[in-house]
Structures are given as structure tokens and as C-alpha cells.
């Protein structure tokens, strides 16, 4: 595959005015123009200025990624759009709650693996655990994969939040 | 009573005051329950003129016509629910063609929102993808400020439609007025870039100066940048001596009679314009967006050229065509900078190469691609437009069109010497656009000759506006090229679908002369080429709205044509062109 047609995942950070409909604008832009959303997180990050940060993981060719950024930047309530994937090193984290049901050897193994992955037990019954695991997508994915044979019954994930390394703000 | 309570007025009054402060003169609208307070405020004043249309879609198109012919923001006022949903086509049209519109929609009172109340629709939800921006005003304290912001957003950067949704209680609650900012408005998050990067101007000059086979390709961005941008473009093109082509949206940006003008490019553009685009070595795109009607097959589009793209919207750059030099900025400002730099540098253009390029272009011009077979028996649509142009060219005139074959013939056969004289639905291709747009143009230019070039199918889509024309005595002329077919549909069925004319025959047409009569307009009919001149003269002389039903050749097709999926150098020049059999499967999928 040539460089121009290679599909690559990008993590894009968007600073927006926290006003009604802003999420619908962003999501509608993706669905209306046929772009992919792999993951999306949003929450207010500056109450005084009423600003929210949206972190979007999306996939596309370089031309599509460039379009996505330009289209996002064109939205009136958008302050800034940054492509963390191309703008130097950054850190990504997500959090998952993983519910595992089982007794005996499987239960012990689940707990042992949770310890390896530094997952916390945040709920326990005699036949179940809820683990809280934090990390990059790979780690969370691996942990969930391991739980599958050990009685995995439920998963929720936050999606990715990301930030550039170093002292600069967005 | 405190001082602020004394100066407080209802939301509806605040709205009217804000519109006046935004220098609005005309509002195109239609009343209804949710906007009654606004209509009450309008009744009590005489600064704003309200034009009552007969369908909300027409209100938006009329506002578009007004906006495009004046450069001002067009204003629309409609009620909640169906009023707003009927406006959606117009809003989408304005978005696609970058026309500044502020559309005020009524809404049910805030406490009823979400209750499926009578005439409730999620207007901000529905219009989100078809506006540049939209607002739901939840408190009267935000109203005036929101109106000022909406006008700023609509007219600045790449212009577009903005909706302000106004719940009825907000219109009736009282508050003090907020005047527009005295200095130029700035927005906290919306900051369009109008000033180009000086380094890129330098690079552009270098590329332009070195070109051996250059072509300018200018679009609606020039028109939107104001009449000065057209003057600057004309100066720059003259200074370089290079050829120029305009898009459908850009017609009038450069004088059509100028010898450097190659005509319109694209699917139904001229042979010389399209071949110049295909064969150029440097393409200078100013204010156009490489639309699919322009480029044809993208993989074969202008394969050997370096491309410069000037656009105020960064998202237009590298969207369809990857360019070598992108300049983000206002077309007028960029042209000013280019001119300044060119004059300062006095670059040496390769005159020998340019001469050879012009010789090649003149060869293409010699094909006379707009030629058609004349007839003494039946009126050819091209002939009708040639005669129309002959009679209007020395008059102060404005042209609007509907959508289809007649639109393309109008673009080919009418010549535009100035910007803001040509109003057509380019991006969305909205049948029913032209007549209400013409009404808006006539409101803005009461003394001018305003003509809607129409087809018999398109005109039926907003024919009810004859009532508006009659009420305000708007002497708009509707020049119907009646071929008894949705002509462009029929043409595609002929070329692509084996001549199976599925549902494209205009069955049960009304008698347009009687229709005109019924609405208090004048109706004329002509089916004889020998009498056409007299009919056109009569149309022009009548001080009424007029429908001219010109019965034209039913089977005439619009050429030249780049079949979908084909490249610029694979044009069909006429009905006898042997290539017509070769429309690819891939091309058939395209529209």
C-alpha cells in the first residue's frame, strides 16, 4: 500500500466551547461525511471559560485525516484542533471496568492477573469481581482478553483520553 | 421601577431593533403561531420591509437572490415546525453555494420543547448539518447579542446560512437591548483567516511567472469577496496575459467579452476551457473548490500541472485535489497582495511559450464547441438564449435560473460582464430556485430587468410565488424554455440508459399563459423562431411579472459534455460525437 492510501489511526484533541449541541455537531460531522470514530471522550475541562476537551481516535488516509481536522476546525464553537499523533510524543490512557464471575481456581487466577495488570478490585462478591484497569488501549485490551476464559460477563470502557508530553498546553 | 426595567422591551422588539442595527432592510418570511410576537413588532414599525412569500422555501431562495445580487446578508423569518422544515432546502442551497443568510425560526415556548408540542420540530437538530452555524436562544438576555453574532458568522469568512431558533416565550419576555459591538466583532472560538501568508504569496508569484502553459480558474469565492475582488482579478489576469476560465458560480468575476476569457469550464463547459485545464502546467485556482462537476474523473484531472489554490476555507484545500501551493485567505486580499508583489517584482514571463499556448488555445476555440444546428421550423433553446441576450445586453439586467439543461445553456450563451448579476443554484442544484431568487433580486434592484431562465418542470416547483410577484408588483420575467421534458434527466437517460425515458416527460403541463393570467401576471407564448424577437421585446416592455412560454426543440441536448467518469480531454462535442457510446460502468454510478 502506498503512503497516500495507508489507513492510520490518529488521536485528535479538540478544545471546544461547552455549549448545547457541540457534541452533536462533532458527531454529526463524522457521520455526515463518512468518517470513522474509533473512540470519543468528552468532558468539561475548564469551568471558568466553559470549555470542554474532546479526544477522538479516528482512522483514515492522510488526506482524510487532514480533512477531518480542517472540518472540525471550521465548526464555530471549536477553539483548537491538535493531531497528537503527528505533533510529537503524547500519552494515551483509558479506563475500563471489567466484571468477572467465577469460583475456585478461575477466581484466584483472575485476581492474580489483575495484580499483574495493576487492576484494582472495586467490587467483590463471593462469586464475582469488578476490576478497574487503567492504561493504554493495548493493555486494557489484553487484560479484557485474558478475562474472557475466566468468566468475563461485562465490560465498560471510557475510550481514550490523551495529552502531549512536556510542559506545553493544547 | 428601576432604570433597566424601564428600558426593557420584549424579545420580539429587541429582535427587530437588532435587525435594524445590522442594517437589514428587507425580511422574506411567512407568519405562524410561534412568530406572532415578531409579526406584531414588525407591524408597529416602518424601518424593516417584510415580503410575504407563499412557501418558506421560496423565502430562503428570495433572500439568497437578494444576498447574491447585493453582497448583503439575506434575512428570512419563518415559523416553527413546518415553517422551519420547509426552509431546509433553501438553507442547504445557501450552505452549498456559500451565501450569507440569517434565518429566524419560531419555536414553541421553552417549557414545551421536547414535548412534541403543536408545530414543534427540533429545528437546531434538523438544521445543524445544513447551516454554517445555528443557535437556540433560551433566554431573552441572550437574544440581541446572538443576533449580532449570527450576522457576523453569516457574512465573515466563507459566508453561509445561520439559523436562530426563537422560542415564543423568549420573544415575549422583556430585557434591555445589547447594541452591536462598535469595533469589528471578534468571536471567542471562530476566527476565519483572511490575510494570506506573505511567504506563500512570494512562492505563488514565482510559480505563476515561470509558467509556460498557465490557466486561471476562478470561482464564487471572487464574487463573495466583493466587486473589488473581480476588478483585482481582471487586473491581474490582464497584467499576466494568461487565459482564464470561470466556474458556474464564478461567472461575472471576469468579463465574458474579454479575449482572455475561455468561457465556463466543467461538465458543460467549453472545449477550450476544459482542454486548457487538462493541458496546463500551472493552474491558479482562486475561490473555487475543485467540485466534481469541474474536475470530472479525478485520477485524470489536469495530470501535468502544478496547482495553486486560494481559498478562505482551509477545509476546501486538498479535499478533492491535492495542490502544490495552498493559500488560505480572502480572495480579494490575496489578489491585492499578488498584484502588489507582481508589480514590485516585474517578473519576466516566457512570452514565446505563452504565445504558443495561446495558439494552441485558439485552435481549440476554433472548434466552436457551442455551435448548434439552427432551425427555421422549431426554436432551438440555444437560439432563444442568444436572442434573449441580444435584447438585454445593453440593459441593466440580472439573471437567475432554475436547474437543468436551460441552466447550462444560460451559463453558456448569456455573457456576464460583472459580478453579482448571475444567480444560480450551483452546489445543491435546486429546481425551483430561480423564480423566488429573482423576486429577491428585484426587491433589491427595483428598476433593473430581472429574468429567471427556467424550464417547464423547474418552474412548477415554486410557481405559487407568482402570487408574491403580483402582490408586490415585481416585474420579474420568467423565460421558460419549454421542451416538455425534464431535459437533463432525459439527456442522461438517452446517453446512459438506452433511451428509456422513465418518468421524465412533463405530462399534463398547465397552460402557462393561463397560469400567469390567473395569478394576475402576463403570459406570452412563442413557438415560431421568426416571432421570437418580437415576443422577447414585448416581455421586456411589459411592466408586469411575465411568463414567456417558449416552446423549444424537445430533443435538443446540452453540449459540450464531459460524461461522468470521463476526463476533460474526453468531451462529447455534439450529438454526432462517436465517443458517446463509451460511458463506463464506473461513470454510470456517478451523478
Clarify whether B118 is annotated catalytic.
yes
Q: Is B190 in Cβ contact with A21 (below 8 Å)?
A: no
Helix (H) or strand (E) holding B526: strand B522-526
Beta-sheet strand order (sheet of B325-328): B261-264, B244-246, B214-218, B282-286, B306-311, B325-328
How many angstroms separate the CA of residue A11 from the nearest CA in chain B?
19
Find, in chain A, the residue whose alpha carbon is nearest to that of B149. A76
Q: Is B322 in Cβ contact with A63 (below 8 Å)?
A: yes
- Catalytic site residue from B17, B22, B28, B56: B56
How many angstroms separate the CA of residue A133 from the nearest CA in chain B?
36
Q: What is the pLDDT of residue B576?
A: 81
Clarify whether B56 is annotated catalytic.
yes
Evaluate whether B551 touches B379 at the Cβ level (below 8 Å). yes
What CA–CA distance (Å, rounded) separates B580 from B564? 11
User: Whole-prediction pTM value?
Assistant: 0.96
Give the CA dihedral B366, B367, B371, B375, nearest 10 degrees.
100
Mutate to test the interface with A, among B124, B139, B189 (most CBs of A within 10 A): B189
pLDDT digits over B535-575, tens only?
Answer: 999 999 999 999 999 999 999 999 999 988 899 999 999 88
Q: What is the pLDDT of residue B577?
A: 78
Cβ contacts of A79 on chain B, cutoff 8 Å: 188-189
Clarify whether B272 is annotated catalytic.
no
Q: Is A21 in Cβ contact with B315 (below 8 Å)?
A: no
Q: Is A21 in Cβ contact with B124 (below 8 Å)?
A: yes
What CA–CA distance (Å, rounded) separates B161 from B94? 6
Name the 3-class secondary structure at B487: helix
Cβ contacts of B313 on chain A, cutoff 8 Å: 74
B124, B190, B315 member nearest A71 (Cβ):
B315
Of the candidates B292, B485, B522, B523, which has an alpha carbon nearest to the alpha carbon of residue B406? B485
Average pLDDT over residues A14-29: 96
pLDDT digits over B52-62, tens only?
Answer: 999 999 999 99
Evaluate whether B134 touches B127 at the Cβ level (below 8 Å). yes
How many angstroms separate the CA of residue B590 from the nearest CA in chain A?
17
What's the pLDDT band for B229 if we cut at 50, 70, 90? very high
Residue B2 vs residue B236, higher pLDDT: B236
Bridge-based pairing state of the strands A78-83 and A8-17? antiparallel
Interface predicted TM-score of the whole assembly (ipTM), two decimals: 0.93
Q: What is the pLDDT of residue B184?
A: 85
Q: Is A32 on the interface with B (CB under 8 A)?
A: yes
Tell me which residues of chain B have a C-beta less than 8 Å from any C-beta of chain A. Answer: 124-125, 128-129, 132-133, 136, 153, 187-190, 313-315, 317-319, 322
pLDDT digits over A118-153, tens only?
Answer: 999 999 999 999 999 999 999 999 999 999 999 999
Q: Is A47 on the interface with B (CB under 8 A)?
A: no
Clarify whether B168 is annotated catalytic.
yes
- What backbone torsions phi and psi does residue B39 show, to the nearest 5 degrees? -65, -30
Residue A83 vs residue B564, higher pLDDT: A83
Evaluate whether B449 touches B397 at the Cβ level (below 8 Å). yes
Average pLDDT over residues B459-477: 98
Q: Is A16 on the interface with B (CB under 8 A)?
A: yes
Kindly list the distances between the CA atom of residue B194 and the CA atoms of B62, B156, B288, B314, in Å, as whole numbers in the listed order.
Answer: 28, 9, 16, 11
Size of interface A-B (CB pairs under 8 A): 42
Clarify whether B416 is annotated catalytic.
no
Strands (E) located in B228-289: 244-246, 261-264, 282-286
Find, in chain A, the residue whose alpha carbon is nearest to that of B323. A63
pLDDT digits over A48-75, tens only?
Answer: 999 999 999 999 999 999 999 999 999 9
Q: What is the 3-state secondary structure (H, E, C) of B275-310?
A: HHHHHCCEEEEECCCCCHHHHCCHHHCCCCCEEEEE
What CA–CA distance (Å, rounded) separates B577 from B303? 24
Of the candidates B121, B122, B180, which has an alpha carbon nearest to the alpha carbon of residue B150? B180
What's the pLDDT band for B431 if we cut at 50, 70, 90? very high
Mutate to test the interface with B, among A70, A72, A75 (most CBs of B within 10 A): A70
C-alpha cell at A85: 499523533
Evaluate whether B126 touches B83 at the Cβ level (below 8 Å). no
Of the candidates B241, B238, B559, B508, which has an alpha carbon nearest to the alpha carbon of residue B372? B559
What CA–CA distance (Å, rounded) separates A63 from A95? 31
Amino acid at each position: 500500500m502506498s503512503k497516500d492510501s495507508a489507513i492510520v489511526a490518529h488521536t485528535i484533541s479538540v478544545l471546544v466551547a461547552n455549549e448545547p449541541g457541540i457534541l452533536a455537531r462533532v458527531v454529526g460531522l463524522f457521520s455526515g461525511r463518512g468518517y470513522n470514530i474509533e473512540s470519543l471522550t468528552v468532558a468539561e475541562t475548564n469551568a471558568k471559560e466553559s470549555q470542554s476537551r474532546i479526544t477522538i481516535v479516528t482512522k483514515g488516509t492522510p488526506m482524510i485525516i487532514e480533512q477531518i481536522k480542517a472540518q472540525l476546525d471550521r465548526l464555530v464553537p471549536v477553539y483548537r484542533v491538535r493531531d497528537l499523533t503527528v505533533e510529537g510524543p503524547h500519552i494515551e490512557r483509558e479506563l475500563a471496568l471489567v466484571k468477572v464471575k467465577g469460583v475456585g481456581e478461575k477466581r484466584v487466577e483472575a485476581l492474580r492477573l489483575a495484580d499483574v495488570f495493576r487492576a484494582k478490585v472495586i467490587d467483590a462478591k463471593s462469586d464475582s469481581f469488578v476490576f478497574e484497569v487503567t492504561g493504554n488501549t493495548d493493555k486494557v485490551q489484553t487484560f479484557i482478553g485474558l478475562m474472557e476464559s475466566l468468566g468475563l460477563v461485562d465490560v465498560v470502557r471510557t475510550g481514550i483520553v490523551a495529552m502531549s508530553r512536556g510542559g506545553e498546553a493544547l | 421601577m428601576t432604570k433597566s426595567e424601564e428600558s426593557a422591551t420584549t424579545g420580539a422588539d429587541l429582535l427587530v431593533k437588532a435587525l435594524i442595527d445590522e442594517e437589514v432592510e428587507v425580511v422574506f418570511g411567512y407568519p405562524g403561531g410561534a412568530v406572532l410576537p415578531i409579526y406584531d413588532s414588525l407591524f408597529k414599525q416602518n424601518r424593516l420591509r417584510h415580503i410575504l412569500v407563499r412557501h418558506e422555501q421560496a423565502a430562503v431562495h428570495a433572500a439568497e437572490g437578494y444576498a447574491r445580487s447585493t453582497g448583503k446578508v439575506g434575512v428570512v423569518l419563518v415559523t416553527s415546525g413546518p415553517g422551519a422544515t420547509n426552509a431546509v432546502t433553501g438553507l442547504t442551497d445557501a450552505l452549498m453555494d456559500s451565501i450569507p443568510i440569517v434565518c429566524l425560526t419560531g419555536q414553541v415556548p421553552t417549557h414545551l420543547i421536547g414535548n412534541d408540542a403543536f408545530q414543534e420540530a427540533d429545528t437546531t437538530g434538523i438544521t445543524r448539518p445544513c447551516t454554517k452555524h445555528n443557535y437556540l436562544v433560551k433566554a431573552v438576555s441572550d437574544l440581541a447579542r446572538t443576533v449580532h453574532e449570527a450576522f457576523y458568522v453569516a457574512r465573515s469568512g466563507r459566508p453561509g446560512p445561520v439559523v436562530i431558533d426563537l422560542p415564543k416565550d423568549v420573544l415575549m419576555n422583556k430585557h434591555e437591548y445589547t447594541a452591536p459591538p462598535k469595533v469589528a466583532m471578534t468571536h471567542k472560538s471562530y476566527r476565519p483567516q483572511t490575510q494570506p501568508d506573505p511567504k506563500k504569496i512570494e512562492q505563488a508569484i514565482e510559480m505563476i511567472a515561470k509558467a509556460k502553459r498557465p490557466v486561471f480558474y476562478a470561482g464564487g469565492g471572487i464574487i463573495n469577496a466583493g466587486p473589488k475582488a473581480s476588478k483585482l482579478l481582471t487586473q491581474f489576469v490582464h497584467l499576466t496575459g494568461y487565459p482564464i476560465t470561470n466556474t458556474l458560480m464564478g461567472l461575472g468575476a471576469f468579463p465574458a467579452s474579454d479575449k482572455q476569457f475561455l468561457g465556463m469550464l466543467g461538465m458543460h463547459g467549453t472545449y477550450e476551457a476544459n482542454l486548457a485545464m487538462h493541458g496546463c502546467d500551472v493552474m491558479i485556482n482562486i475561490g473555487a473548490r475543485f467540485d466534481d462537476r469541474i474536475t470530472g474523473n479525478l485520477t485524470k484531472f489536469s495530470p501535468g500541472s502544478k496547482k495553486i489554490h486560494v481559498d478562505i476555507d482551509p477545509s476546501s484545500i486538498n479535499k478533492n485535489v491535492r495542490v502544490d501551493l495552498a493559500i488560505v485567505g480572502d480572495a480579494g486580499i490575496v489578489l491585492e497582495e499578488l498584484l502588489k508583489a507582481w508589480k514590485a517584482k516585474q517578473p519576466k514571463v516566457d512570452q514565446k511559450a505563452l504565445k504558443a499556448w495561446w495558439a494552441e488555445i485558439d485552435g481549440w476555440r476554433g472548434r466552436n464547441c457551442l455551435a448548434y444546428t439552427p432551425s427555421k421550423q422549431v426554436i432551438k433553446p440555444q437560439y432563444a438564449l442568444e436572442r434573449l441576450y441580444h435584447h438585454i445586453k445593453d440593459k441593466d439586467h440580472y439573471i437567475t435560473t432554475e436547474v437543468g439543461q436551460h441552466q447550462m445553456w444560460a451559463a453558456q450563451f448569456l455573457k456576464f460582464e460583472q459580478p453579482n448579476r448571475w444567480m444560480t443554484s450551483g452546489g445543491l442544484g435546486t429546481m425551483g430556485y430561480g423564480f423566488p431568487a429573482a423576486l429577491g433580486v428585484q426587491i433589491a434592484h427595483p428598476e433593473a430587468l430581472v429574468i429567471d431562465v427556467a424550464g417547464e418542470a423547474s418552474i412548477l416547483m415554486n410557481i405559487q410565488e407568482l402570487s408574491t410577484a403580483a402582490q408586490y408588483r415585481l416585474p420579474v420575467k420568467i423565460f421558460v424554455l419549454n421542451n416538455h421534458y425534464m431535459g437533463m434527466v432525459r439527456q442522461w437517460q438517452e446517453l446512459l440508459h438506452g433511451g428509456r425515458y422513465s418518468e421524465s416527460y412533463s405530462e399534463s403541463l398547465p397552460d402557462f399563459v393561463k397560469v400567469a393570467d390567473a395569478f394576475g401576471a402576463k403570459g406570452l407564448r412563442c413557438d415560431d423562431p421568426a416571432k421570437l424577437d418580437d415576443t422577447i421585446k414585448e416581455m421586456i416592455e411589459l411592466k408586469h411579472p411575465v411568463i414567456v412560454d417558449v416552446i423549444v426543440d424537445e430533443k435538443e441536448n446540452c453540449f459540450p459534455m464531459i460524461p461522468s467518469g470521463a476526463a476533460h480531454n474526453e468531451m462529447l462535442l455534439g450529438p454526432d460525437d462517436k465517443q458517446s457510446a463509451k460511458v463506463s460502468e464506473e461513470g454510470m454510478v456517478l451523478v
